Amino acid sequence: MNVGKSLFVNVLKNVFVSVFVSLIITACSTDDDTSLQSYTLEDLEVMHNNSSKTWRLQAYYRNYDTNLSEQNDCLVDDIYTFKPAGEVDVISGTESCYYGGSEIAEAQYTFYEESGSVFFTMIRGKITEDITSSTSFSLKLTDLSANRMVFSASDSLDNASALVFVAD
């Protein structure tokens, strides 16, 4: 009978611990969760001032705010001019990222009105005679103000790749 009571107490403890842990996990605040961030066409005016706005890449992080990407130096010397309708003009700096002196850089942003999401796509490439080589990536807009934009590989900036732009 003592064994049955002991078993019952252990099961009861396990149930109590499971419920307690579940409550803690589900009660955690998501105040800094940017997945709820959505944008409107009016919000995007900050990006391009209804005609064009120049931005400089402040940093390209492999892990946001802690670890710069190995491509940081070659991207921060570029100038990005955002325009309406998803256009981005890129003036490449002196340091190439992938393809040496013949590298070309292009970018665009895409606005998905239904979800309020904005994605920035960077393309680096090289065209030589009959061969085209390119590298590209897309990141989601997670922070936008008059002087700063952050595009990230994740809705949460924790341990995510991120591009941080500052107004020029």
Residues 14 and 80 placed together within one structural domain of the fold: no
Query: What's the average model confidence in pLDDT over 128-140?
Result: 83
Q: What's the Cα-to-Cα distance from 137 to each of 2, 33, 77, 130, rounded to whole Å?
A: 64, 23, 18, 24
> In DSSP terms, which residues pair with 111 in a beta bridge?
118
Domain count, the chain: 2
Q: Per-residue confidence at 158, pLDDT binned at 50, 70, 90?
A: low
Please state the rounded mean pLDDT for residues 55-74.
82
* Per-residue pLDDT, 137: 87
- Which residue is it, tokens 């010397």? 77
**Residue span of the structural domain in which 110 resides:** 37-167
Task: Please name the amino acid found at residue 6.
Answer: S
Q: 19: which 2 tokens?
A: 């419920």
Whether 41 and 111 map to the same domain: the answer is yes
Do 139 and 107 reside in the same domain of the chain? yes
What is the spatial distance between Cα 127 and Cα 139, in angstroms, rounded to a whole number? 24
Q: How far apart are CA 40 and CA 117, in angstroms?
A: 9
Q: Which residues of 53-76 are buried (b: 16+ CB within 10 A; e: fewer)?
A: bebebebbbbebeeeebebbebbb
> Same domain, yes or no, for 125 and 161?
yes
Q: What percent of the chain has pLDDT over 70?
A: 75
Query: pTM higher than 0.75 for the full model?
Result: no
**Gap between the Cα atoms of 154 and 151, Å rounded:** 9
pLDDT the model gives residue 28: 43
Check whether residue 10 and residue 46 sit in a common domain. Answer: no
For residues 47 and 1, the model is more confident at 47
Q: Specify whether 92 is located in the same domain as 12.
A: no
Per-residue pLDDT tens digits for 36-64 = 589 999 999 999 999 999 999 898 888 77
User: Using 50, 70 and 90 to split pLDDT, how confident is the model at 130?
Assistant: confident
63 & 9 share domain:
no
66 and 9 both lie in a single domain: no
For the chain, counts of helices (H) and of strands (E): 3, 9
Looking at the structure, tell me whether residues 54 and 22 fall in a common domain.
Answer: no
Is residue 27 scored above 70 in pLDDT? no
Same-domain status, 47 and 92? yes
Residue-wise over 6-21: b if at least 16 C-beta within 10 A, else e? eeeeeeeeeeeeeeee
Residues 26, 41 share a domain? no
- The SS3 assignment for 38 reads coil
> Can you give the pLDDT at residue 49?
95
Whether residue 102 is predicted with pLDDT greater than 70 in this model: the reply is yes
pLDDT of residue 125: 86
77 and 110 belong to one structural domain: yes
Mean pLDDT, the chain, rounded, equals: 78
